[in-house]
Amino acid sequence: MKAVCWFGKNDVRVEQVPDPKILNPRDAVIKITTTAICGSDLHLHNGYVPTMQKGDILGHEFMGEVVEVGDAVKNLKVGDRVAVPFTIACGSCFFCQQQLWSLCDNSNPNAWMLEKVYGYSGSALFGYSHMYGGYAGGQAEYVRVPFADVGPVKIPEGLDDEQVLFLTDIFPTGYMAAENCNIQPGDTVAVWGCGPVGQFAIKSAYLLGAERVIAIDKVPERKRMAEEHGKAETLDFDDQDIFDKLKEMTGGRGPDSCIDAVGLEAHGKTIDAVVDRAKAAMFLATDRPHALREAINACRKGGTVSIPGVYGGFLDKIPFGAAFAKGLTFKMGQTHVHRYLRPLLERIQKGEIDPSFVITHRMRLDDAPAGYEIFKHKQDNCIKIVMKP
């Protein structure tokens, strides 16, 4: 089959690789009908994630048709159309039982690698390095889905791929980020980053009852999407001091919650951002947490900082004193996608949201190397790319 493979920093190629097979009775093989490039795939493309190996198949946002099931998979049959969570979960361990699916204890055969760095390992992920399990991803013609009796959700008739594909990651990720804010009626939510996850965080904040969402970015087309589709007010961080502006817009109190949908590769012009870039370039720091610092500083006393943006290592100059002094609550982590699949599918069915609004580019899988470049450099007003084999 054809698959998008990682060969190093800035080097992805479409290669011929062996078809996946059932290895375990709880596996299924899915024929991919639509897949996407995610912002977190760019961390791989930029060489930020260790334990990648040449030839690894990328992709963790994908859906398709079941073509083969293992003996133990009773809930799926050949021909079913499914969307597959990017986190892999067994469904029966302590963490899965508590709905903490992205912390599954059983899905990562290389848990020891993450344990060395983090003490304990979270769940495995599709197409996201060997420390996250080394599972082949779904930017391919076929993919093996482990624990297929637990993860994939069947898609009812009448919904097209583009409406449901983002149930696999970015819609639940934005939704969980908003849910983590414990939004109360009248709340103002500030969102750093108007990429796809930021867009879904904005929409979800309103779905969960926010009165006002203020979104921060500098890319014109992302801001436009946040305004037109998300009904957010937007701020350009190149134009003004974000802290001062947010304070002014909230009557001197600050936003009730702040969502950092940027993560480890934040851009900024302030001194700390420039220092981050220099240190990351010299391997002295592992992340560039400029957006997070700003979110912590801007958040009102007693508010919540919610972090769907991905961080990997040791964060420098985090104003923890400010967080303590203001009594902030922090919520973060890999999305518990399994928890949100069905409720969010229902919201799509009811017409409360059509996630396809984020798609700006449609491509063939063969064009993935160009797609990564376009997406990374935000060329051609690109916000989200979907691909079909």
Binding site for Zn ion (CB under 5 A): 38, 40, 89-90, 93, 96, 104, 106, 169
Q: At 199, phi and psi to the nearest 5? A: -60, -45
Q: At 235, phi and psi to the nearest 5? A: -125, 140
Minimum CB distance to Zn ion smaller for 38 or for 183: 38
Find the helix or strand (DSSP H, E) in which 213 lies: strand 212-216
Residue labelled with tokens 């923890």: 320
Minimum CB distance to Zn ion smaller for 96 or for 383: 96
Minimum CB distance to Zn ion smaller for 27 or for 169: 169
Shortest reach from residue 104's CB to Zn ion, in Å: 3
Minimum CB distance to Zn ion smaller for 135 or for 237: 135
Minimum CB distance to Zn ion smaller for 40 or for 129: 40
Shortest reach from residue 145's CB to Zn ion, in Å: 15
For residue 295, give the amino acid letter: A
Look at residues 20, 43, 16, 15 and name the one whose alpha carbon lies nearest to residue 31: 20
Look at residues 168, 195, 126 and name the one whose alpha carbon lies nearest to residue 360: 195
Shortest reach from residue 45's CB to Zn ion, in Å: 13
Shortest reach from residue 79's CB to Zn ion, in Å: 27
Minimum CB distance to Zn ion smaller for 129 or for 188: 129
Shortest reach from residue 61's CB to Zn ion, in Å: 6
Shortest reach from residue 303's CB to Zn ion, in Å: 26
How many angstroms separate the most distant Cα atoms in the chain? 61
What is the SS3 assignment for 294-316? HHHHHCCCCCEEEECCCCCCCCC
- Using CA atoms, how far apart are residues 308 and 121, in angstroms rounded to an integer? 18
